[in-house]
Structure 1
Amino acid sequence: MSHLSTNGTAQCRVLYDFQAQPGTGELDIYADEILTVLRQDVGEGWWEGCNSRGEQGLFPAGYVELIQSTNNTTEHDFFSPVTSSSVSSTFNPPVPNFPPPSGPTNIGQMQENNYDQGDDWGDEDWDDDDSQGSGGDTIGAGAGSGSGFGSGPNPAQSSLSLASGKSQLPVKKSINRFSTFVKSGGEDFILGSKTRKVPCDAYIYIIETSSNEIMWAPAKSEYYCTITAPKKESKLKGLKTYTAYKLTPSFNNIMVSRRYKHFDWLYGCLTDKFMAIPIPWLPAKQISGRFSEEFIEHRKIQLQLWVNRICRHPVISQADVWMHFITCTDDKKRWKTGKRRAEKDEFTGGSFFYTLQPPTVPLEVTFVESRTESFGKFVKKMDESIQFMSDVVIDQCRKYSGAYKKEMQKISIALNSFASAYDTSDYIDHQLNEAIRGTGDTFDRIAKMYEEQPKYDFEPLSYVLHEYKGILSAWPEILDLNKQALGRKKDYLRLRDEGKAEDKVVESVSQRADVVSYAMLAEINHFQKERISDTKQMMKSFVQAQLEFYQRISNELSEALKMYD
């Protein structure tokens, strides 16, 4: 079969029928058919092969059995492909028992971003903000309530029928159509299956300090961006309305206008591009009451926190798509050009790692495993504690504006009733009665203070907790990416020790795996510093607000006390 790639290293016999999904790169296979295996290192129980008709694609490794294998040896450099011909044919990747765990999206979805690729981002292309919102809880997850990869709809189902002679009953099995590592291009990067020419100005540097601290290289310049003057605007003669937020970066002081839909698009771009960096959630979507002053103000505060975090990140703050977002004015042509460029960025997903320039010192596998294991445990504990904190905060907000307020009002009503009863006496002390009535008024004011207090302490607390919910939700996937990259490195190190892989190939895979690990370690470092700084500021503001609240109550009661002198 001359049409086959020279990478074909084995043939296999199909055990079960498998029906490919259109547009996914999968291959229809039929029982007893003979296939030529082109790649066994696709990952997650998938192989790539070619049938006798010259059709090439992906199929589940668990649905075939090897019948022969061949051996080839080729030379590789650091950025040259590493194929199955680079290792001994005696090495076969483990084949998982089917059906594998469900969860990740199918391969077709890897080409679907959180935004419309054909959308040029003119006003006519957008529906109203929050047209498909998820509810009105400003503390809940928003549009960006998950990471860019592996957070799609239900796993794809493939119709499978067992080969004749085994059973005539059709079966339905859930198939894991690629993990994040594979579908994002991480596997291709580690194995060098593809090459990318990176412009000099696109490189991102990771450094190691004299104190052995691995971190992102500091941004060339620091800046901030303010959000002001959100207002309700309309189009189509008032048929569609939306809220516009004004953004002003400090480096040029030129104001630009953005809608929530635009932030949602940006979130999709950032999560797709920076797969090694957790992007915080956007504020929650809301349908009812979305033009109320209170809701707009809440969202403005949350968007400001989100923008602040992006501006502080040494990598994201310098990204082209972010700069385009905060600097492009009403020039539609320029706007559309920048938007299309962002959506066609070739250095997204796994290709992002091609742009990284880490230290050249190799990382010890045990060191990386130890760091990731301890950090993974910490993330889990922190996530649990933040969820508990969020529940308490929501409960306190309700109690302050509900139960606590009502209790103060009851005291006020009771004291006024008490004073009214004393007014009916033949022996009246007018000063005492007025003092009691004044104390009742004091508790009525305290009731209003309780109603308004959450916006000074518990609501700001909830905003930060919401940010960290989003960040923490992305970490397990990032840690898993590193785990799989590290797994490839360990596989090739073992093969070298067994004399089944060349030193040059192993070194190439190890260096690429280290790029992923360096990125993760740099981001962990950034996260921990941000966490400590954020938590300190969050708690300081919360305690200060509580202190001022009770001082105001104390002042009110002190004034009431003077009425009895």
Structure 2
Amino acid sequence: MKLFKPFNLDSFLGEAYILGASKVTATDSDYIHIIETNDGITWAPNPQPYSCVVASPKKESKLKGLKSFIAYQLTPSLNNIQVSRRYKHFDWLHERLVEKFCIIPIPPLPDKQISGRYEEQFIERRRLQLQSFVSRVSNHPILSRSDVWLHFLTCTDAKRWKSGKRKAEKDEVIGAAIFSVVQVPEKALDPLQLDSQTEAFGRFVQSFDTAVRTMQSNFAEQVKRQQGPYKRDYQRIGQSFRTLSTAMELLETAPLTRALAHTADTYDQIALLCEDQPRLDFEPMGDLLHDYRGLLASFPDIITVHKGALQKRRELERSATEGKTESNVVIRAQQRTDVVSYTLLAEMSYFHQERVRDYNAAAKIFLQEQIAYYQKIVDHLQSTLSQYKDV
């Protein structure tokens, strides 16, 4: 799982930003805006929202067939022009996003896998996981507008792709420097209230992370059981009815043996349903839990960054009361600390909004698929029961 790499406020860049000594070269597209609405502090929305579809994975090769890989076709609604990307391209992109946006949890990529990576079922599962990653980035009001992401999403020319990669890898607005391009409301924030809010959020993240890990483990175990012992149990039940039917054929009438044989076939069908079902309910929920494990893993470091900013602010305020630091230096440091605070509050707000939407939708789909699964079993059993009416 790709994890978050924070910057350290005690490092040169972080402290330089709080003290106002850092200078970066930024373009208009680098600037990030935070606004205050009736719903609180949020990222300014993307004025041109869009979506992107990941589809048609294809097995391709190079070096005259010596090296094979899977290429995924991405079509953004921005221009409806398809681009082809390999997993290694996603991996490169993820590293750039993590490096650039220390203030935002970057969604994790699906885990790398060597064995079975060309199997149809694995390819489709990975496509769905990459679709989740792409959708999360496309929906985020800040990530969706970043130059490196738009380059990844829209570049179709090989030369421009390489030059764009070099440009992204030389980007100066990364790590702590990102705060220099954040535009926030003029309203000063209350440090004590911030402490309370972030402490509560930190406790929530810890509790939520524990719940997500437990659920992910339980669901993964359920998948193994349904595709292993549960499937075999249904097959054994079916075999038991089949053996009984065969034994009775010597003396029993045909209607009963046919009904018993039909029952055996029914349990074989239920075994197949049991094996296939996780693809529709437990695995999609597991993929969501994977996403949230990655997102939640980032927040403790983001909160630590914020605490470091507040600590530096307090140090300067104490220094000013002792006459060691000029008041105008403290005022500017307070304003820059507020920038760090605003970014945390904006991302907290966005995270909560997405969390409610994601888990509401996922729980509904999970329950609908569970109902459909058990209804199929009931239908099979009722059909089988009808075979005994004429016995």
Which bin holds the TM-score, normalised by the shorter protein? over 0.9
Whether the 8 Å contact between 1:148 and 1:268 is mirrored in structure 2 is no
Seen in structure 2, the aligned counterparts of structure 1 residues 336 and 443 have a Cα distance that, compared at 3 Å, is same
More helix by share: 2
* Residue of structure 2 equivalent to 1:412: 238
Q: Establish whether residue 352 from structure 1 lines up as the match of residue 178 from structure 2.
A: yes
- The 5 A counterparts of 1:480-491 are 480-491=304-315
Mapped to 2, the partners of 1:513 and 1:305 lie a distance apart of 33
Mapped to 2, the partners of 1:334 and 1:362 lie a distance apart of 43
* Residue of structure 1 equivalent to 2:71: 244
Please tell me the residue identity of whatever aligns with 2:257: N
Higher Cα Rg, which structure: 1
Find 2:113's aligned residue among 271, 283, 286: 286
* Residue of structure 1 equivalent to 2:22: 194
Q: Establish whether residue 147 from structure 1 lines up as the match of residue 4 from structure 2.
A: yes
Find 2:8's aligned residue among 148, 158, 180: 180
Q: Give how far 1:198 is off.
A: 3.6
Q: Establish whether residue 535 from structure 1 lines up as the match of residue 364 from structure 2.
A: no
Whether the 8 Å contact between 1:215 and 1:522 is mirrored in structure 2 is yes
Whether the 8 Å contact between 2:219 and 2:282 is mirrored in structure 1 is yes
Bigger RCO of structures 1 and 2 (CA < 8 A, at least 6 apart)? 2
Find 1:365's aligned residue among 176, 179, 191: 191
Seen in structure 2, the aligned counterparts of structure 1 residues 184 and 467 have a Cα distance that, compared at 3 Å, is farther
Whether the 8 Å contact between 2:19 and 2:329 is mirrored in structure 1 is no
Contiguous gaps of at least 5 residues in structure 2 = none
User: Which deviations, in whole Å up to 9, do the C-alpha atoms of 1:429-456 show, x marking residues without a partner?
Assistant: 2112211111111111001100101000
Seen in structure 2, the aligned counterparts of structure 1 residues 205 and 184 have a Cα distance that, compared at 3 Å, is farther
Find 2:347's aligned residue among 496, 504, 523: 523
* Residue of structure 1 equivalent to 2:149: 322
Contiguous gaps of at least 5 residues in structure 1 = 1-140, 150-178
Q: Establish whether residue 342 from structure 1 lines up as the match of residue 199 from structure 2.
A: no
Q: Give how far 1:203 is off.
A: 1.8
Whether the 8 Å contact between 1:412 and 1:443 is mirrored in structure 2 is yes
- The 5 A counterparts of 1:85-484 are 141=1, 145-149=2-6, 180-183=8-11, 185-211=13-39, 213-329=40-156, 331-425=157-251, 428-484=252-308
Moved more, 268-277 or 189-198: 189-198
Mapped to 2, the partners of 1:493 and 1:365 lie a distance apart of 12
User: The residue matched to 2:388 in structure 1 has which SS?
Assistant: coil
- The 5 A counterparts of 1:485-524 are 485-524=309-348
Please tell me the residue identity of whatever aligns with 2:183: Q
Mapped to 2, the partners of 1:328 and 1:192 lie a distance apart of 36
Please list every run of at least 4 consecutive aligned residues from structure 1 whose deviation after the TM superposition is greater than 4 angstroms: none
Whether the 8 Å contact between 1:184 and 1:349 is mirrored in structure 2 is no
Q: TM-score, normalised by structure 2?
A: 0.97
Q: Give how far 1:210 is off.
A: 3.2
Please tell me the residue identity of whatever aligns with 1:391: S
Mapped to 2, the partners of 1:402 and 1:410 lie a distance apart of 12
Whether the 8 Å contact between 1:182 and 1:188 is mirrored in structure 2 is no
Q: Percent sequence identity over matched residues?
A: 45
Count how many residue pairs are aligned between Structure 1 and Structure 2. Answer: 389
Seen in structure 2, the aligned counterparts of structure 1 residues 448 and 510 have a Cα distance that, compared at 3 Å, is same
User: Which deviations, in whole Å up to 9, do the C-alpha atoms of 1:186-217 show, x marking residues without a partner?
Assistant: 22211122223543443211011135x00000
Please tell me the residue identity of whatever aligns with 1:485: A
User: The residue matched to 1:181 in structure 2 has which SS?
Assistant: coil
Seen in structure 2, the aligned counterparts of structure 1 residues 496 and 530 have a Cα distance that, compared at 3 Å, is same
User: Which deviations, in whole Å up to 9, do the C-alpha atoms of 1:478-514 show, x marking residues without a partner?
Assistant: 0100010011111122223333322101101111111
Over the aligned positions, Cα root-mean-square deviation in angstroms equals 1.3
Mapped to 2, the partners of 1:340 and 1:420 lie a distance apart of 72
